[in-house]
Amino acid sequence: MRIVPLLVSALLTWGAIHLFNTQLSVGGSKTPRLGYFLSPQHGFWQNAESTETNYNGNIVLKDLQGKVEVYIDDRLVPHIYADEDNDAYYVQGYLHAKFRLWQMEFQTHVAAGRLSEIVGKERVPTDQFFRRLGMVYGAEKTKAYVEKNNPEMQSAIDSYAKGVNAYIAQLKPEEIPFEYKLLDYKPEAWTSLKTYLFQMFMSYDLTGRGAVTDLQMSNARNYFGYKDFDRLFTDVQDSLDPIIPKGTVYANPAVKVVSPVDVQTAYLGDTSGNSTAMAPFVPNKSNGSNNWVVGGSKTKSGRPILANDPHLGLNLPSLWFEVQISTPTHRTYGASFPGSPAVIIGFNDSIAWGVTNAGRDVLDYYEMKFKDSTLNEYWYNGEWVKAEKRSETIKVKDSANVIENIAMTVYGPTMYDLHYKNSGSGGKNLALRWTAHDGGSGLLAFYKLNHAKNYDDYLEAISHWNTTGQNFAFASKTGDIALKQQANFVARWFRQGDFILPGQDSTYAWQGYIPTEENPMIKNPERGFVSSANQKSTDKTYPYYLGAASNFPVYRGVIINRKLAAISNATAADIQKLQMDNYNVFAEMARPLIMKYVNQPVLTADEKKYLDIMNSWNGVSDVNEKGATVFNVIWDSLETTIWGDEFAGATTNIGWPDEITLLESLQRDSLYSFADNIKTKNKVETISDAVMEAIKKATVVLQKADKEGKLGWAAFKDTRVSHLLKINPLSALHLPIGGGKHIINATTETHGPSWRMIVHMTDEIEAYGVYPGGQHGNPGSKYYDTFIDYWATGKYYPILFLHLKDAPTHKRIKWLMTFTKA
């Protein structure tokens, strides 16, 4: 019988194809379909881009109004020259897609709660979280608002979307980006909504911490009682040097906020109901940034120099993409967001601008009472009010859909309810009030900054920034410098929104927004500079509550202002040095405090050795400094020693107090009661006991690091820039860079300056920039991570801000792409 071998071999063929055409589960993750992935004509080999790739091209596209020329420089930065603004955004969309398509789509999938669709059911909790947080709801509202009120912005976003889709349409199956092949899915069409979803993604990253901290703060208040809570999470920051200098006089507030009469009993004194809910990923506390402008009186040229470095999660592909956009209305250069038109941080022929996070509280929880488990009606102002239901369908790869029915209240979506349990809350229903849900003008502020010519244009432009707060720094060629904190900020009474608020009537509702004229602002000050580093914008005399002090890091602001006050005859090179400054002003204040309480005679030899290293340290957290490592480990151990015992008793999730609170409490109070270890019943520990205990604990950690050769600060800190999928071979690991928390060069393990920019407002603008990544998102391109070494070692690229007439012959221009109408 010949039929048996025939059948067997046919089966083998089928089996082999099937095996290599299936995603296999290995160690908790899935392989690509290996046959497809390795097929040289279909799979990843197609993404192995030649290092000699020629980016010249003539591209014919419909929807263009005229001709667009794109000169691409040696760093793969496109310089777009178009006759119409919308053509420029169309081509920007095309180029973002050409270089960053996977990332653009992935980030908006995260925002839209669509990860399970591509990864599978293990990401359903992440998707549920973002759906219930109202990410899609917020994006839809912003889109509707912009379509109604800002047709100019809308047409820019629509043109951009068409450009993205023009690229996707001509993409052959084998040309799709690497990560699609790895995860085994395909790109879909881009939509305008995705640009708004990306904005929600940034809103969450910059203001979404409240979705977790408001619960943690409520837990902490419940656990300690308000009196002790107020010591641990105090509003007092002695070292604060606010954005607006102390002593500035503020006008009488237009919104007179009144705290509810029962605030002591029903709110501050309430200790009922804990919440153990956590977000799948919590925005980094250090999401912050530095920006400053040195005025002409302090520079060598007599013209302002603006600097900005936004501190965000460090990822590959980078959040940023450099671009120049030139049309008859403007010529602008800067860092853009793949997924959005225009430049976000940059400069044009007349002005420069930079942003930092304001840190103001724009997100609150309200506890709701529903009539029954259908969640159809809730109690509000003495009657049952109907709750509209918003249905969100989460598609899940290889599994059934998950549907979220979200009860919408007067405040916003009900984040937690009996279907989405906040265990430990006794079934609390928590509705979310977040300015990111308010609609608002979206990117209009940035669009207008791209076109701004002077101070008045700047002020008008940023007045459109109305959801989540930013500090906008400004400089012009005419010599104006300014900084304004801008958003629709809630006029709050003291502690309003630090905890879960009662939501059964309007007593605890927001009473209004602060008028934009009353937002903290400073222009051409006597001292010759403006700056912000996420600290509180004002001193106590500002008539509104800014939000919990733990939202506002203090020390970077202190050191930046100290250095800027001392600077004179500054050049761009001086400002580069300042952005890379590694001096730790927190250590300057904390080290003497530690040493004051050391009981020298009882130290062991190793303890003494490490303390000596710390003492002889110059306070600068450079790459090889061992003192920086010793200081950080001892301080961390001191926190553990002081807080560990008290906080260990809390069954719910509570964040520890800030470093400033511990430092200033110990400085003020030599009998600080939290120094006592409450686990030792018959002894009351002193600060000195705690310090000695901390040194002992720290020595164990330091000995281990020492043995591994990781006592040097950079080796100990171990900074990395991770691929968005956290795949190490696609990441840049073990980077030789100093800096850290509280330091101007705020580079921590996974977080730090995501774009460093310096703009000197001379007649022909002198500008420098660098970000930890590369222009090409393809891990197979040589432009994938080209800037990382420069970034780590504190070097800058001179920015090429080209006039069209010089572009064709400029020695740094490598390629020309022309786009013509079909």
Partner 1 sequence: MKFIVSILLTALLAFVAGLFTQFPWWVFAISSFVVSALITQSPGKSFLSGFLGLFLLWVILAIIKDAANEHILSTKVSQILPLGGSYIMLILITGIIGGLISGFAALTGAYLKKSS
Residues that bind partner 1 (CB under 8 A): 2-3, 5-6, 9-10, 12-13, 16-17, 20-21, 31, 34-36, 38-52, 172-174, 178, 182, 727-730, 779-782, 784
The answer to whether the beta carbons of residues 184 and 32 sit under 8 Å apart is yes
- Closest to 353 measured CA to CA, from 338, 340, 343: 343
Structure-token pair, residue 510 = 């927001």
> Which C-beta is closer to partner 1: that of 45 or that of 384?
45
**Least spacing, CB of residue 784 vs partner 1, in Å:** 8
CB of 208 to partner 1, least distance (A): 31
- Closest approach of partner 1 to the CB of residue 791, in Å: 19
Contact 198, 337 (CB under 8 A): yes
Residue 149: φ, ψ to 5°: -110, -25
How near is the Cβ of 188 to partner 1 at its closest, in Å? 17
Please state the closest distance from residue 55 (CB atom) to partner 1, in A. Answer: 15
> How many CB atoms sit inside 10 A of residue 501's CB?
24
CB of 718 to partner 1, least distance (A): 19
Least distance between partner 1 and beta carbon 11 (Å): 9
Q: How far out from the chain centre does Cα 119 lie?
A: 24
Task: Look up residue 760 and give its two tokens.
Answer: 């000197």
Residue 260 three-state SS = coil
- 275 CB contacts (<8 Å, ≥6 apart)? 215, 218, 219, 416, 422, 424, 425, 428, 430, 500, 652
* Rg of the Cα atoms in the chain: 28
Q: How far apart are CA 467 and CA 3, in angstroms?
A: 72
Up-side HSE of residue 26: CA atoms within 13 Å toward CB? 7
Going by C-beta distance under 8 Å and a sequence separation of 6 or more, which residues neighbour residue 467? 142, 203, 362, 435, 436, 438, 440, 487, 488
Q: DSSP 3-state assignment of 395?
A: strand
CA distance 568 to 587: 26
Taking the complex as a whole, the smallest distance from the CB of residue 9 to partner 1 amounts, in Å, to 4
CB closer to partner 1 out of 100 and 741 = 100
Provide, rounded to whole angstroms, the least separation between the CB of residue 54 and partner 1: 12
CB of 783 to partner 1, least distance (A): 10
How far is residue 137 from each of residues 133, 281, 729, measured CA to CA in Å? 9, 20, 36
Quote the least distance from Cβ 172 to partner 1, whole Å: 6
Rounded least distance, CB 94 to partner 1, Å? 22
Nearer residue to partner 1 within complex by CB, 48 or 804: 48
Distance, in Å, from the CA atom of 791 to the CA atom of 757, rounded to the nearest integer, reads 11
The distance of Cα 571 from the centroid of its chain, to the nearest Å, equals 29
Rounded Cα distance, 217 and 233, in Å: 9
Instruction: Return the number of the residue (16 or 804) whose C-beta is nearest partner 1.
Output: 16
Angle at which helix 151-169 crosses helix 85-111, to 10 degrees, equals 80
User: Judged by CB, which is closer to partner 1: 18, or 148?
Assistant: 18
The token pair that represents 290 in the structure block: 């530095």
Strand (E) or helix (H) holding 351: strand 351-357
Between CA 615 and CA 601 the distance in angstroms is: 17
The pair of three-digit structure tokens given for residue 803, joined into one six-digit string:
């006039």
Query: Residues near 570 by Cβ (< 8 Å), separated by ≥ 6?
Result: 294, 298, 299, 300, 305
Query: 207: burial class by Cβ within 10 Å (0-12, 13-18, 19+)?
Result: buried
Tell me how far, at minimum, the Cβ of 213 lies from partner 1, in Å. 36
- Cβ closest to partner 1, residue 52 vs residue 383: 52
Report the alpha-carbon distance of residue 702 to residue 707 in Å, rounded. Answer: 8
Task: Indicate the residue among 45 and 494 with the shorter CB distance to partner 1.
Answer: 45
